[in-house]
Structure 1
Amino acid sequence: MNSKDLLAQYGPRESMEYDVAIVGGGPGGLATAIRIKQLAVEKDQDVSVVVLEKGSEPGAHILSGAIMDPRALTELFPDWQERGAPLNQPVTEDAYVFLGERSSWRVPNLMLPPFAHNEGNYIISLGFLTKWLAEQAESLGVEIFPGFAVAEVLYNDDGSVKGVATGNVGIGKDGEPGANFQLGMELHARYTIFAEGARGHLGKQLISRYRLDAGRDPQSFGIGIKELWEIDPARHQPGFVMHSAGWPMDSKTYGGAFLYHLDSNRIAVGFVTGLGYTNPWLSPFEEFQRWKTHPDIRRYFENDEGEITARRLSYGARAINASGLSALPRFVFPGGALVGCDAGFLNVSRIKGSHAAIKTGMLAGEAAYAAVTAGRQHDELTAYPEAFEASWLYTELKKDRNFKNWFRYGLTTGTLMNGFEQLVLRGRMPWTLRRRKPDHACLKPASECKPIAYPKPDGKLTFDRLSSVFISNTNHEENQPTHLTLKDAAVPVTVNLDRYAGPEARYCPAGVYEFLDDAMEGGKRLRINAQNCVHCKTCDIKDPTQNIVWVTPEGGGGPNYSGM
């Protein structure tokens, strides 16, 4: 039964009215809400703000490296240290390393471009910071509804955004309402801000509806896979930051890894693979596992006798923006705006997006506050893009705008040209590199590529997908319809498997997609294990036929990350 039929039978939906509704309770959405309320308190005005978060609690779905530049946070809360913000481990040392299969070369720090320096930054859990931001927001009077997945954008007759509707609950796998069925709720707002993170489900629809990306480069993404470990104190160096490039990736494939030393003998390790890769046999998950076996990386997990003594605590994965300024869409439209990674503000050269999410959230919040208190509604918040173009964030993104695009010419050329632009030209380049092909269009046929043989996991340092998903605390109500939908159920076998050797079974970091023997038809069929999904959005981005569409499951489902 489709939504229209459900509304006809069970409707109308209940509705609530707000001045500003915010979709997504991450750093960007919460910064938007906080800034609006800060201004309202200063002026002794009443502006109602609600934040809707699909995770079970703020921070449950948040995954990042993460090294944080505190500049935007300091603008939002100059007294964040006194307030107890969880920025506890300053960066003490940077290391950038190029890896061969058994070799390594560390770049002298004097040769590192400005974006590679992390003095004054902090190694954090972005999930913990998000929880803290939610506490600050609630103390200002922001209403936060965790466990509410927004499934639909609502429009006024003039085409402007009216608000959003949360998803129905209690729908069975057959699409029919069950005993616990409840219609979703409508939230109407004078302005609706979308802060869903990279490849937001609704943000993607809004970009298409309003043609916000017209004339812009296609968005580019990477899949970031992360593990949190507890290691031997003798191997721990609080504040030490390592980034690596090269092995196990070939020189033409964009990617890299990180190893961050937090406090309490913990390290965060992760691997980012650009989703513009061409070889369908590549598995980002397996590349990450293989990277950990390099001698310079493995040493952090073992004792002097070579035994693995470290303990893996958590696992997760998330698509990240990797596009740059040239792919940034228009981010305002009648009745609303995009902030943070929903628009693509992450600075891929710095491998940082949380400062950009907070800054754009603040700018959008200031524009929304001014519009609401002036009596306006459902128009474009033009003050937001104007403020962005006058901000330090715009200057930062403009200076680093070519970073990712240079690597299309290979690792060596990309490294040298980025060094030249930043160290010699100081970011004042007279040229801008453009990109025309989206990630999903980059795969070559499997017959034209060399298969990659990955070693079996040892269960101590390297692992399989299912044991990894287990420690991400991922869970979905099993009797709901799958949220990983297919436009055409035949395409995975007749096109993806036949032409590209079934890449969805490899690019998914959670074991969601499996090609099984079909006893009835005598061929293969695709099984979708939607309960494993960690909401990374990789399938929605990389599927070569764009046949897979990620939609919101019931609220509260998905991963429940701890300390990530």
Structure 2
Amino acid sequence: MNARESMEYDVVIVGGGPSGLSAAIRLKQLAADKGQDISVCLLEKGSEIGAHILSGAVLEPRTLNELIPDWKDKGAPLNTPAQKDQFLLLTETESIQLPTPPQMHNEGNYIISLGNFCRWLGQQAEELGVEIYPGFAAAEVLYHPDGSVKGVATGNVGTGKNGDQEGEPGIELWAKQTVFAEGCRGSLTKTLFERFKLRNGADPQTYGIGIKELWEVKPELHQPGKITHTAGWPMDTATYGGSFLYHLENNQVVVGFVVGLDYQNPYLSPYEEFQRFKTHPAIKGVFEGGRRLSYGARAISEGGLQSIPKLTFPGGVLIGDTAGFLNVPKIKGTHTAMKSAMLAAEAIAEALATAQEGQPIEAAAYTDKFKQSWLYDELYRVRNIRPSFRWGLWPAMLYSALDTYLFRGKAPWTLHHQHADHECLKPKDECTPIAYPKPDGVLTFDRLSSVFISNTNHSEDQPPHLKLKDPTVPIRVNLEKYDAPEQRYCPAGVYEIVGREEGEPRLQINAQNCVHCKTCDIKDPTQNIGWVTPEGGGGPNYPNM
């Protein structure tokens, strides 16, 4: 294979989500304010900006107001102001309306398509001179001889499924600073954690999987701006989870379900729990006579302040959900991801201005800026909410009320996450199988029909991006001890156990179905599955998600 070509920039950003784009915009703004030029390149593995972006989403515009104060004049796609909040506790047949927790009040916020919002941010970045390359997946971190980050390399293309073809080599992108904005469970970020010991002193990160559908509903059932969240059924009281139901413009409603990946029962299927949720008497009426338009799934970082790693290292920084800035009680991470990006950009600009030739640059001021910002204060005040749910739903709701109303987020203690999510599964012999109803094809659906409307596509003739460290583990350990939970935690039908009837079970990996949610990389109890970037442009293509 031919040698890789290289391109050199001041800053390379990995990931075209809200944090990566905000960092690019802020860097260009700062340079323009000083009459300077700074070269910024942004890589996005999706086929276009927004293709892989999935979130609820309700946007709190606080950071957008700081980043682009005239966003209304520039046509930002914030079209549906939040109008009404509703918080329901569900039993199997009933719903009880509870007071909406203060963190979940949405006055002044907007229901948006985060994908469309990122497409707009991409336009703003390009107008400022940012070079954006969609369809290019950063597959490798590059290092200087002194160990500092030099940049990244994109993956090779066309090498064949078994590496048996002469493919096109990737491109090396060198930078004085590399910004990792990969989103939840970034594949390159994982390697940085290990190399630079970034997680030392931090709690284990804990995650949730969010599964979402976009529907077009009857006009008489549509209430623009209405926001509904639920807790309770179909989750048991020991499992963290809940739903969202947001009414967008154009008779569209987004419905989604989040399950904490610290769940214990290996028979639980987040996808099937979501489908079952839609059948609740308080929910199903919204979709009567409606049409499902799109589907997707994505893991989210739920650990909060305690789980944020060290943010800087020689040659680079972490921003957004790859570092874990989500505000879990608010169920919002976009404004926090964008703020982390702005703080990082400001620290990078300062570090570049004072850098000495040939010396590695670490934007250490980023950490100080974070701790002095409203972002730190916001995450500090809610730090104890998510970890309290390890006690179960009722104790957690009681504690959360005390923490919020009595201590106002400033309790003289901090609760901690005790275990990584993959450590939480119980053996199958200690758990009861869950009987899920069959999909009706009208309100509830099977996984393959769902993947179809996510517009997921991967080249069949490419090296697998789901790798097993030991190919014997799925049967020898996972099937034997946990009844192969990968069959159920994957929301896209990627993992199947075949050959059981013949007495020769084996794991079949349908990698072409993968929607890049990263759940397998997180929840596999033996940590035998590794998710790496496929060829650029592969994966889902989410419209309006």
* TM-score strictly above 0.5: yes
Partner of 1:6: none
1:208 maps onto 2:190 in alignment = no
Structure 1, residues 345-400: CA drift from partner, whole Å, max 9, x if none?
A: 11111111110111111111111112222234632211111111111010000000
SS of the residue 1:461 aligns to:
coil
- Counterpart among 333, 339, 343 of residue 313 in structure 2: 333
- Counterpart among 367, 375, 391 of residue 393 in structure 1: 375
The aligned amino acid for 1:103 is E
Partner of 1:3: none
- Counterpart among 182, 185, 193 of residue 199 in structure 1: 185
- Counterpart among 264, 267, 270 of residue 250 in structure 2: 264
Separation of aligned partners in 2, 1:518 and 1:284: 24
The aligned amino acid for 1:295 is P
- Counterpart among 377, 389, 403 of residue 421 in structure 1: 403
Kept in 2, the 8 Å contact 1:113–1:423? The answer is: no
The aligned amino acid for 1:264 is N
- Counterpart among 112, 115, 122 of residue 103 in structure 2: 115
Partner of 2:508: 527
Kept in 1, the 8 Å contact 2:351–2:362? The answer is: no
Shift of 1:177: 2.4
1:441 maps onto 2:423 in alignment = yes
Structure 1, residues 220-265: CA drift from partner, whole Å, max 9, x if none?
A: 0000000000001111111000000000010000000010011111
Moved more, 494-503 or 206-215: 206-215
Separation of aligned partners in 2, 1:153 and 1:321: 22
- Counterpart among 285, 302, 323 of residue 271 in structure 2: 285
Partner of 2:540: 559
Separation of aligned partners in 1, 2:240 and 2:402: 19
Partner of 1:30: 21
Separation of aligned partners in 2, 1:159 and 1:489: 33
The aligned amino acid for 2:334 is S
Shift of 1:543: 0.2
Separation of aligned partners in 1, 2:128 and 2:544: 25
Shift of 1:20: 0.3
Give the count of matched residue pairs: 543
Shift of 1:134: 0.3
Partner of 1:493: 475
SS of the residue 2:27 aligns to:
helix
Partner of 1:305: none
Sequence identity of aligned pairs in percent?
A: 63
Separation of aligned partners in 2, 1:268 and 1:373: 45
SS of the residue 1:171 aligns to:
coil
Separation of aligned partners in 1, 2:48 and 2:220: 35
SS of the residue 1:434 aligns to:
coil
Kept in 2, the 8 Å contact 1:162–1:378? The answer is: no
Cα RMSD of the aligned pairs, angstroms, is: 1.0
Separation of aligned partners in 2, 1:419 and 1:117: 15
1:540 maps onto 2:528 in alignment = no
The aligned amino acid for 1:531 is Q
Separation of aligned partners in 2, 1:257 and 1:315: 15
Structure 1 runs not aligned, ≥5 long:
1-9, 303-308
Separation of aligned partners in 2, 1:160 and 1:17: 16
Separation of aligned partners in 2, 1:280 and 1:296: 28
Partner of 1:306: none
Structure 2 runs not aligned, ≥5 long:
none
Kept in 1, the 8 Å contact 2:355–2:361? The answer is: no
Partner of 1:509: 491
Moved more, 221-230 or 39-48: 39-48
The aligned amino acid for 2:251 is N
- Counterpart among 432, 457, 476 of residue 414 in structure 2: 432
Separation of aligned partners in 2, 1:259 and 1:505: 27
Shift of 1:46: 1.1
Shift of 1:11: 4.1
The aligned amino acid for 1:140 is L
* Large movers: runs of 4+ above 3 Å: none
The aligned amino acid for 1:557 is G
- Counterpart among 212, 225, 228 of residue 242 in structure 1: 228
Structure 1, residues 319-352: CA drift from partner, whole Å, max 9, x if none?
A: 0011010111011001000000010011111111
- Counterpart among 132, 137, 151 of residue 163 in structure 1: 151
SS of the residue 1:295 aligns to:
coil
Structure 1, residues 410-451: CA drift from partner, whole Å, max 9, x if none?
A: 111111111111112111111100112100000000111000
Alignment of 1:3-18 (within 5 A): 10-18=1-9
Separation of aligned partners in 2, 1:256 and 1:295: 16
Alignment of 1:24-103 (within 5 A): 24-103=15-94
Separation of aligned partners in 2, 1:131 and 1:400: 31
Shift of 1:116: 1.6
Separation of aligned partners in 2, 1:562 and 1:347: 25
